Amino acid sequence: MKGKKIFPLLLSATMLTGLLAGCASKEENAPANDPAGNTNEQATNANGVDISKEVKLVYYLWGSEGIANKDILAEINKLLKRDINATLEVKYIDWPDIATKYPLLFASGEKFDMSHASPGAAVSYFTLAGQDALVDITDMLDKVAPTLKAAIPEETWAGSKFNGKIYGVPSLYSEYTPTGFAYRSDLLKKYGMENIDSIEDMEKYMDNVLANESYPPINGNANDAFNMYRMLVDTTDQWLNAPGIALTELNLVTESKEDYKKVFHPAFTQEFEDWAVKMREWADKGYWPKDILSSQVDAGTNMRAANSAAYLTHAQDWIGKYGTDMKAQPESDPYFYTFAEESGKIKRKMGVENSTVISSNSENPERALMAIEKFMTDPEYYNLIQYGIEGRQYVIEDGVKKTPPGFDDKVDGGGFAAWSLRNDKYNLLMDTENPVRNTLYAEWDKVAINDPYMGFSFDSKNVTTEIAAISNVNQQLGMQLMLGKTSKDPKEAVADYRKQLEAAGIDKVIAEVEAQLAGFESTAN
């Protein structure tokens, strides 16, 4: 984003969570009679749904449990019991376990009610819908959650449809997540530079770091291999990510959004070979540590410890960590160079990319949908799930969310990774945010493109063995190439990588992706 500063919303790694909270506002869906009473009459809400029986809903979220989460959940459950005669149990899939445990959640047959879902998750939202793992809520919305249905625009619902049916509730939160380079503006000015708008500027900055500082420019770990690959894709012509191989690896691409039905692996291009040579040059210069493949500490953590000059991430993560960055290094004021901006390839996030879904194994799908409606359309619920308990996790001053006096992270810290439930209408400004965020997003709104593959679900069952083999090649030689750590000359290593991809079945995977794309018509414009 060309040296502009951004306004962070809580979110990490992933777009991480906001601490949680409570405001006040009760919706119209209060029970007609006391569901806890000893009456024989059937209790219903305003929409005529039977809520006479108290139920417990199980909600799976990513991340670990915060210290104060149980206290926050207790406040949430008071509201749920009052309004829909339900209580909520939150179960967690910790960040390192998502790739393995999230798919098992649906494959195991476990009975639970709600979960986060996304087309880019370890198992795609559209794949889950196609496997009947999710409840079809199309007709249920009118009866159970009319307020929710009305709050979400028709075009947003349309992006959530699979074979004409709706299987998840999309978020109403505006965000962009292009990959980029977060760097210290205080060092930039120290070197007499104004901003970073290109890879050449980035190199100049890193050369200055090597000449003037005691740490590597990007003091990161092996995950930066994938960030380097994303930089290659985002800065090369009109290349866009394509389905078939997980985006957490060295994935397939297409040459442009207009040519989306033809895909290829960049490894077989001159651009990839040239990039591998550049990565060796960067490694030899010392742009990252010699032990980067075994390092356990990421560059962002090192930058906050004054041991790195930059880190690679996506824009929303940088936004969310701006306050943390500034607290750790008050003079740093990190800027962000967005790789895809110059080529006009910043993709807007569609609501379906962060969705809340109901498991087909849920015993109470209507009550689950009612809970989702509350979390997304009632600020009393919204503030609790997103920010916590007012006065303990946060206070609001002049419309801005701030940390309360006396806040102790070891006692009061907590939060839920419930970003799928976010709604711009109720989102609070935070004192850790850079207000440029709104201006920047307004600029990107004017030029952003839609992902041509939105709504497409790749079925990998015919190439499962090949994809596993390709993943192994990527985890070994692919990562080494992207960090300049191959034992051979990079050009020779690229030749080996191509041979290993071919042996693993890359051509079969590409053919399968293109065969499935043949019958898919993109709605991107």
Q: What is the pLDDT along the chain (525 residues), one digit of tens a residue?
A: 444 433 333 333 333 333 333 333 333 343 434 444 433 335 777 678 899 999 999 999 999 999 999 999 999 999 999 999 999 999 999 988 998 899 999 999 999 999 999 988 889 898 899 999 999 999 999 999 999 999 999 988 988 998 899 999 999 988 889 999 999 999 999 999 999 999 999 999 999 999 999 999 999 999 999 999 999 999 999 999 999 998 889 999 999 999 999 999 999 999 999 999 999 999 999 999 999 999 999 999 999 999 999 999 999 889 888 988 999 999 999 999 999 999 999 998 888 889 999 999 999 999 999 999 999 999 999 999 999 999 999 999 988 899 999 999 999 999 999 999 999 999 888 877 776 787 888 899 899 999 998 878 788 889 999 999 999 999 999 999 999 999 999 999 999 999 999 999 999 999 999 999 999 888 776
Pairing of strands 161-162, 179-183: unpaired
List the alpha helices (DSSP H) in 378-463: 379-386, 409-412, 436-447
CA distance 146 to 377: 11
Helix (H, G, I), strand (E, B) or coil at 284: helix
Q: How many CB atoms lie within 10 A of CB 266?
A: 18
3-state secondary structure string across 116-162: EECCCCCCCHHHHHHCCCECCCCCHHHHHCHHHHHHCCHHHHHCCEE
Q: Under a CB-based contact definition with an 8 Å cutoff, are residues 15 and 317 in contact? A: yes
The residue with tokens 């601490």 is: 19
Query: Which pLDDT score, from 0 to 100, does residue 320 have?
Result: 83
Per-position b or e across 326-349, b if 16+ CB within 10 A of its CB: beebeebbbbbbbbbbeeebbbbb
CA distance 448 to 156: 16
How many angstroms separate the most distant Cα atoms in the chain? 80
At residue 56, φ and ψ (nearest 5 deg) are: -110, 125
Q: Under a CB-based contact definition with an 8 Å cutoff, are residues 345 and 38 in contact? A: no
Query: Which pLDDT score, from 0 to 100, does residue 300 have?
Result: 96
Q: Under a CB-based contact definition with an 8 Å cutoff, are residues 461 and 30 in contact? A: no
List the alpha helices (DSSP H) in 213-358: 224-235, 270-285, 299-304, 315-328
Pairing of strands 179-183, 310-314: antiparallel
CB hemisphere CA count around 116 (13 angstroms): 27
pTM equals: 0.75
Helix 490-504 to helix 506-517 angle (10° resolution) is 60
State pLDDT tens for residues 248-296: 899 999 999 999 999 999 999 999 999 999 999 999 999 999 999 999 9
At residue 312, φ and ψ (nearest 5 deg) are: -100, 135
Query: Which pLDDT score, from 0 to 100, does residue 46 have?
Result: 66
Query: Which pLDDT score, from 0 to 100, does residue 517 have?
Result: 96
Q: Under a CB-based contact definition with an 8 Å cutoff, are residues 70 and 126 in contact? A: no
Query: Which pLDDT score, from 0 to 100, does residue 33 have?
Result: 41
Q: Under a CB-based contact definition with an 8 Å cutoff, are residues 388 and 19 in contact? A: yes
Per-position b or e across 71-94, b if 16+ CB within 10 A of its CB: bbbebbbebbbebbbbbbebebbe
- For residue 180, the one-letter residue type is G
Contacts of residue 9, defined as CB under 8 A and 6 or more positions apart, other chains included, come to 18, 175, 316, 319, 320, 427, 430, 433, 437
Q: What is the DSSP letter of 71?
A: H
Q: How many CB atoms lie within 10 A of CB 365?
A: 21
CA distance 495 to 301: 35
CA distance 168 to 151: 14
Q: How many CB atoms lie within 10 A of CB 142?
A: 11
* Interior angle at CA 496, CA 495 and CA 499, nearest 5: 90
Query: Which pLDDT score, from 0 to 100, does residue 11 have?
Result: 34
Per-position b or e across 271-286, b if 16+ CB within 10 A of its CB: ebbebbbbbbebbeee
The residue with tokens 């000359």 is: 489
